[in-house]
Structure 1
């Protein structure tokens, strides 16, 4: 990266060629371009033989990933609203059948949404990155094509149906529902570091106190699938921002519902963030009116 002060170079060794190829193909789809998706510049292969390397060159964001950022920063309500909203907008764009300009596009499921796969663009914006196991939800693909993709993702963030290996491969919406579950865990991480919850505790990953740093699928299956466990949303979070924070917590809860079909869509969550922004505008207007009186 030192040779490219404004770009990042992600290097894949030979044995990770398939991941590089998949991510390159996802990135080279022009319809992927979005403010909340990492900006792709080019893909290259370097060298030959066993020393051959595969490069992805993207925009560079010096603030690093969301996990590290949350570890050392407490968010204001506005920061939380903006940063979380940008993440949600990115996921909604991936899942959409259309670009912002209205052009048809193939929806994409990320399949590994987690706080280390979200980069902090600035104090109020995030971008999604790492599309190594993302999949294009092309209607022309068969159930066998999707079945061959296997059980993928990071165990800590896997939805119950993924942990159980009971994903409905005949319904492409299933892949989006998995993303929404994972996204809910990241939203919880962000909410847990917001100053409006009162005493902000040290940053913790979802299920942090219950599992090891890299829990296995069996461990997460016991907690999430059989125990129906989810990260705690303390009652103390809710009174501090009666409209916005409660609305956000309700949204998170609906996104990690055990039943995939009961979860909100990313588009619905994006609409809710717009409503939260409107709530804040109304609060400001009402407060100003009260002060004038």
Structure 2
């Protein structure tokens, strides 16, 4: 289209509701952001049983983040930029305002995972697939949110989702679920960064413990009952920047939803990281997983917002 390469996502007629939801989310002008997939138009094609529903968006040849990480090792700079762009996108979704300061309705993605993140270029990602996203409109009732059901991908579901104990009266609950899922994706990116030492083959979160498509019951046993999270080896924490990032990740996947950082707070931490010199490596550091002697300034520490 006018020299602009596009992608067409085609929904069969039985997936009309998903197409309708995603097209409605995309047509909200306040969704536009550098870290959100660029939407062009929605169309329905054909008639009867052959009817199809199209979403036409920007095309990104590097594919999704899962596939990209499978074949690429990231530098520390690449990790900062790519992870920062993902965080920026989630913070924008969750925000009550656009970057220009105009009021907007916050959006919960509800299915953040590495296959729903596209690689725009070597240092930028964009969020995609808003088929089960929900607008956190204060005018909606608890019943409206309850009827949206237990959704998402089991591997990335937060503990409270697995347990079906989401506080539907608090719209922040939906954002906290996204932050948990985002933390798993950040872990995936961190696992493929050259500063962690030996970079192992790419693996999904909990990859060695579960099947390729684990069910909710399996994830409930690991995450909810076993309090399991992806491993953060002590070797990752030798690099000060990675230690700071791992601290942030662990605060984002906290078992208690209210103890998790907000996406906005995580975005502030990434802005802080970008200003700091993490080129030096403290080889004397021998910390166990989840420990850190490096602390950001108090204003950027974990404070529920």
TM-score in terms of structure 2 length: 0.89
Aligned residues: 277
Note if contact 2:6-2:56 (Cα within 8 Å) is conserved in structure 1: yes
The 3 A distance-change label for structure 1 pair 199 and 137 is same
Asked if structure 1 preserves the Cα contact closer than 8 Å seen for 2:11 and 2:54, the reply is: yes
SS at match of 2:301: helix
State the 1:290 CA deviation: 33
Distance 1:209 1:291, change over 3 A: closer
Q: 1:220 to 1:290 in 2, by over 3 A?
A: closer
In structure 2, relative to structure 1, the CA distance for the partners of 1:201 and 1:50 (3 Å cut) is same
For residues 112-165 of structure 1, give each alpha carbon's deviation from its aligned partner in whole angstroms, at most 9, with x where no partner exists.
Answer: 000000000000000000000000000000000000000000000000000000
Alignment deviations for residues 83-135 of structure 1 (CA, whole Å, 9 cap, x no partner): 00000000000000000000000000000000000000000000000000000
* CA distance 1:189–1:50, change in 2 (3 Å): same
Q: What is residue 289 of structure 1 aligned with on the other side?
A: 301
Give how far 1:248 is off.
0.1
Q: 1:289 to 1:246 in 2, by over 3 A?
A: closer
Provide, for residues 47-92 of structure 1, a one-character-per-residue CA deviation record: whole Å limited to 9, x for no partner.
Answer: 0000000000000000000000000000000000000000000000
- In the alignment, the residues of structure 1 paired with residue 223 and residue 301 of structure 2 have an alpha-carbon distance, to the nearest angstrom, of 47
Does structure 1 conserve the Cα–Cα contact (< 8 Å) formed by 2:259 and 2:304? no
Quote the Cα distance in structure 2 between the aligned partners of 1:133 and 1:236: 37
Q: What pairs with 1:1-293 in structure 2 (closer than 5 Å)?
A: 6-238=5-237, 243-280=240-277
**1:244, CA displacement in angstroms?**
1.1
Distance 1:163 1:79 in 2: 33
Question: Helix, strand or coil: the match of 1:279?
Answer: coil
> Which deviations, in whole Å up to 9, do the C-alpha atoms of 1:241-284 show, x marking residues without a partner?
xx21110000000000000000000000000001111112xxxx
**TM value normalised by structure 1:** 0.92
CA positional deviation for 1:292: 43
Do the aligned partners of 2:157 and 2:181 also contact (CA within 8 Å) in 1? yes
Change (3 A) 1:227 1:50: same
Relative distance call for 1:209 and 1:94 in structure 2 (3 A) is same
Which secondary structure state, in structure 2, belongs to the residue aligned with residue 290 of structure 1? coil
For 2:19 and 2:188, how far apart are their aligned partners in 1?
Answer: 29
Q: CA deviation at 1:201?
A: 0.1
What is the deviation of 1:291? 38
For structure 2, the 5+ residue unaligned runs are: 278-299
Cα distance change on mapping 1:292 and 1:80 into 2, 3 Å: closer
Relative distance call for 1:141 and 1:14 in structure 2 (3 A) is same
What is the Cα deviation at residue 194 of structure 1? 0.1
TM-fit CA distance, 1:214: 0.1
CA contact 2:262–2:304 (8 Å) conserved in 1 = no
SS of residue paired to 1:292: coil
Shift of 1:289: 29
> SS at 1:58's partner residue?
strand
Q: Is the 8 A contact 2:251 2:302 kept in 1?
A: no
> What is the CA RMSD across the aligned residues, in angstroms?
5.2
**Unaligned stretches of 5+ residues in structure 1:** 1-5, 281-287
